[in-house]
Chains A and B, each alone.
Chain A
Amino acid sequence: MKNIWIILRKELRSYFVSPIAYGLMAFFALIAGYFFYVATAIFVSRGMESAMSGRGMPMNVNEWVIRPVLSNVSVIGLFLIPMISMRLFAEEKRSGTMELLVTSPIRDIEIILGKWFAAVIMYACILGLALLNILILFGFGKPDWRPLLVGFLGLLLQGGCLLAIGTFISTTTRSQIVAGVATFAVCLLLWVLDWVSAYETAPWAKVVAYMSVLTHFEPFSKGVIDTKDVVFYVTMIFLGLFLTARSMESLRWRA
């Protein structure tokens, strides 16, 4: 436990000591702000329309603003993940500090968990900042708290799962760039997998679509926690971290 904390602190510090972290935060806050602005604008104009037409459709802030913003943020998260996870192991391997970690009295799994937690926290900070905009809504209306929290939990689970895969990829190379590009490719693949379900209804298409990380995010953005989605994400996190552990071990055998 203590060792995980030591690694986690070191990783967080090296994230926050670099200007790139702040650049990412600012950039994603801006993009999320833009999504928020667009969603709100649509919401307002629709509201006007329905009021003018006199039909008075019931409009819901959660459905019209929060949900689309969360969905969009979950997609831009795909771009964020590789930037966070690429350096985790690749940089240690390149600079030779891996030798320090591995010859210290600390278990592999502690190194891996420390690094992964740090990545998740970094991701949560960037997203949290980006979603601050939404709090403005609370100043004007009475949106429901729960869906927002559930949505954030969904984003964290999805991020945690992709970060675990990114951590694994980072152990396979000494180059941050290679790790970043490969992770991005995998994230992209896992995103588009569910597109097949639009054209194909065969069982294999269902399986492929099931593997898509974004399909499992949909319910979260509606404020629904479905056990099956949580299980999917948690399983993927375990798989990613397990592969990381195996990769670290085999690195040593081949070295």
Chain B
Amino acid sequence: MIKVEGLTKRYARNVAVDDISFEVQKGQIVGFLGPNGAGKTTTMRVLTCFLPPTAGTASVAGFDVIQKPMEVKKRIGYLPETPPLYPEMEVNEYLTFVGRLKGLSGKNLASRIDEVTERCAIGDVRNKLNGRLSKGYRQRVGLAQATIHNPDVLILDEPTSGLDPNQIIHTRDLIKGLAGDHTIILSTHILPEVEAMCEQVLIINKGKLVATDSVANLTRRLRGSEAVLVEIEARDAAPLETPVIQQKLEQVAGVSRVVFRHEKDGRHVFEVESLQGRSVRADVARAVVETGWNLNELHAVGLSLEEVFLQLTSSDPAQGAEKK
């Protein structure tokens, strides 16, 4: 449904997207995962014909974004990072306007408006001004707007950012509900979000595609390893060198990486990551105590996005190099 090959987008001073290639099959929900500034928005803007690519090609439903932009635009529904609402319009009126823009009219338009209003649960604000809506409702009206012409492809840029937890759950359910009828690409910088909504994930960092995988595979690979935070202190007031502790921790069986965090009043804090499928908490604790140090604290921490990248690129080079 979507095909991107060697896509590069250069701005005056920097490269936002660097030689990305991927494909999305019909009916899939694909998560576009990466930290801020990774190039997610830029890629989506190319797919929606908002920005022309510097190099490479992109096509939607077989139509090239440069050669056949009208055909692409007819088949795409787009929700930008901030929903494109006119504050002085009422919700119903706004949907009518967008529907007409997308080529709908008459009875067809009226029935589509009813359908998206129902689906996105915005019936109770139909006659309210866009400018008076809460953040959650703005997002829902944005989704209604994107789906009004029943497009083959939905492109959603950070659809849950800035929402409170309840709204996030609601929006996620809404998007999952849309999945049957549309091919969906959504971007996010939150890992669990991809796990909650997507089947397929594209991981992008600094403009480069780091990995493409099914979400099931990704979680399997990530679940295996864990990261623990430990705080260590010498038992008596004896001075304790950071490198000494680091070395000791690295020698514990099953540890893949030890990162020094900080040191204050003789208390040293490290983050210890385990190899896949290993739990190292007990071993780390024993090693510290047996060496004669105090173990002040030890708890598991989730992997940050940065660590996910590291894991994906270092633990499995074959996957990391899939970029092309």
Q: From residue 1 to 24 of chain A, which have CB atoms closer than 8 A to chain B?
A: 3, 6, 10, 14, 17-18
Residues in B neighbouring A95, C-beta threshold 8 A: 84-87
A-B pairs, 4 with minimum CB distance:
A100-B84, A105-B73, A104-B101, A97-B84
Q: Are B101 and A252 in contact (CB under 8 A)?
A: no
Q: A253 at the A/B interface (Cβ < 8 Å)?
A: yes
22 A-B pairs within 8 Å (CB atoms) are namely: A10-B97, A14-B88, A14-B89, A95-B85, A95-B86, A96-B80, A97-B85, A97-B86, A99-B48, A100-B145, A101-B101, A103-B48, A103-B49, A104-B102, A105-B74, A105-B103, A107-B70, A252-B51, A252-B52, A253-B52, A254-B12, A255-B45
Q: Decide yes or no: A96 and B82 within 8 Å by CB, A105-B73, A106-B101 being known contacts.
A: yes
Residues in B lying within 8 Å of A, measured CB to CB: 11-12, 45, 48-52, 70, 73-74, 76, 78, 80-89, 97-98, 100-103, 145
Please give, as numbers and ranges, the residues of chain B lying within 8 Å of A252 by CB-CB distance: 50-52
A residues 92-131 near B (Cβ < 8 Å) are 95-107
CB distance from B132 to the nearest CB of A (A): 14
Distance, CA A234 to CA B103, complexed state (A): 31
Bin the interface of chain A by size.
20 to 34
Q: A residues near B, CB below 8 A?
A: 3, 6, 10, 14, 17-18, 95-107, 252-255
Specify which chain B residues have a CB less than 8 angstroms from the CB of A10 in the assembled complex: 86, 97
Q: Give the number of A-B contacts (CB < 8 Å).
A: 65
Partner of A104, one of B73, B80, B86: B73
B211 to chain A minimum Cβ distance, whole angstroms, is: 28
Pair B70/A102 contact, Cβ less than 8 Å: no
Q: For A97, what are the chain B residues with a Cβ–Cβ distance below 8 Å? A: 84-86
Of A3, A17, A96, A99, which contacts B88 at CB under 8 A?
Answer: A17
- Which chain B residues border A99 with CB–CB below 8 Å? 48, 50, 78, 80, 84
A96 neighbours in B (Cβ, 8 Å): 80-84
B50, B52, B89: the one contacting A103 at CB < 8 Å is B50
Closest to B99 in A: A6
Q: A18–B102 Cα gap in the complex (Å)?
A: 26
Task: Pick from B76, B101, B103 the residue with the most CB of A within 10 Å.
Answer: B101
| A255-B85 in contact (CB<8A) | no
Report B153 CB to chain A, min CB distance, Å.
12
Return chain A residues, CB-CB under 8 Å to B48: 99, 103
Residues in B whose Cβ lies below 8 Å from that of A254: 11-12
Residues of A close to B52: CB separation below 8 A: 252-253
User: How far does the alpha carbon of A104 sit from the alpha carbon of B76 in the complex, in Å?
Assistant: 8
Closest B residue to A253 by CB, please name it.
B52
Residues of A within 8 A of B103 (CB): 105
Q: Check B88 against A6 for contact (C-beta < 8 Å).
A: no
CB-CB nearest in chain B for A18: B88
Interfacial chain A residues near B84, Cβ < 8 Å: 95-100
Most chain B CB within 10 A, of A95, A96, A105, A106, is at: A105
Task: Verify B88–A255 contact, CB threshold 8 A.
Answer: no
Nearest chain-A residue to B84 (Cβ)? A100
A6, B50: Cβ atoms closer than 8 Å: no
Q: Given the complex of chains A and B, what is the CA–CA distance between A253 and B155 in angstroms?
A: 21
Which partner residue on chain A sits nearest B69 by CB separation? A105
The residue in chain A whose Cβ has the minimal distance to the Cβ of B54 is A253
Shortest Cβ distance from residue A201 to the other chain B in the assembled complex, whole angstroms = 47
Query: Inside 8 A of A255's CB, which chain B residues have their CB?
Result: 45, 50-51
B89 contacts which chain A residues (CB < 8 A)?
14
CB distance from A57 to the nearest CB of B (A): 55
A17 CA to B131 CA, complexed, in Å? 14
Interface centre among A3, A17, A97 (most CB of B within 10 A): A97
Separation of A3 and B100 alpha carbons in the complex (Å) = 8
Please state if A103 and B12 are interface contacts (CB–CB under 8 Å).
Answer: no
**Whole-angstrom CA separation of A95 from B76 in the bound complex:** 21
Q: A6-B100, A105-B102, A107-B70 are in contact. List 7 more A-B contacts (CB 8 A).
A: A6-B97, A100-B84, A103-B48, A104-B102, A105-B74, A105-B103, A255-B45
Give CA–CA (A111, B50) in the complex, Å: 15
Q: Which residues of A contact B49 (CB under 8 A)?
A: 102-103
Q: How far is the CA of A254 from the CA of B51 in the complex (A)?
A: 8
Closest to A7 in B: B101
Q: Which B residues touch A6, using CB under 8 A?
A: 97, 100-101
Q: Which residue of B lies closest to A100 (CB)?
A: B84
- What is the CB-to-nearest-CB distance from A68 to chain B, in angstroms, rounded to a whole number? 38
B99, chain A: closest CB distance, angstroms: 10
Report the minimal beta-carbon distance from A111 to chain B, rounded to whole angstroms.
Answer: 10
Name the A residues within 8 Å of B80 (CB-CB): 96, 99-100
Residues of B within 8 A of A107 (CB): 70
Looking at the assembled complex, report how far the CB atom of A107 sits from the nearest CB atom of chain B, in whole angstroms: 8
Chain A positions within 8 Å of B45 at CB level: 255
List B contacts of A14 (CB < 8 A).
86, 88-89
Bound Cα distance A252, B66 (Å): 13
Query: Is A102 touching B97 in the complex (CB atoms < 8 A)?
Result: no
Shortest distance between the CB of B78 and any CB in chain A (Å): 5
Complex Cα gap A86–B44 (Å)? 30
The CA of A3 and the CA of B97, in the complex, are separated in Å by 11
Q: Complex Cα distance A106/B84, Å?
A: 16
What is the distance, in angstroms, from B177's C-beta to the closest C-beta of chain A? 23
